[in-house]
Each structure stands twice: as C-alpha cells, then as structure tokens.
Amino acid sequence: MMKRQLLEADGLTLPDAVSTALDAMAEAFTWPDLAEALEARSHKRAPQFPDPPGRD
C-alpha cells in the first residue's frame, strides 16, 4: 500500500497527498489483519495471518 501511495502522490499537492494518505489509512484500519495483530499483541502471541490469495 505504501508503494502505491508514493507512486500516486507524485505530482499531487501536499493537501491532496495528505488526504489520499488518510483515506488509504482509514481503509487499512478495516482490514482483518489489523484486528488479528492487535488481538495477538494483547495475548502476547505471534499473529496468525492467513496466506495471501494465490499463494499455495
């Protein structure tokens, strides 16, 4: 996601780049990976993320 943000931010004004970054961050907070990471941290265990799609 960060690489995509950097590529898309090229040529944007600072306010537009910040707005785009904040939108991407808000989207990332809805992903199940964050919930698993926070749950794992609260139980002092390693996170158990599922394999990404297409990985066998």
Please write the tens of the pLDDT for every residue from 15-34: 999 999 899 889 888 888 88
What span, in angstroms and rounded, lies between the C-alpha atoms of 33 and 24?
Answer: 15
pLDDT at residue 9, rounded to an integer: 84
pLDDT in tens, 32-51: 888 899 999 999 999 999 88
pLDDT at 55: 65
Q: Using an 8 Å Cβ cutoff, are 8 and 20 in contact?
A: yes
CA distances from 13 to 4, 6, 7, 9 (A): 16, 13, 13, 8
- Name 10's Cβ contacts closer than 8 Å, sequence gap at least 6: none
Model confidence band, residue 56 (pLDDT cutoffs 50, 70, 90): low
Whole-model pTM above 0.75?
no
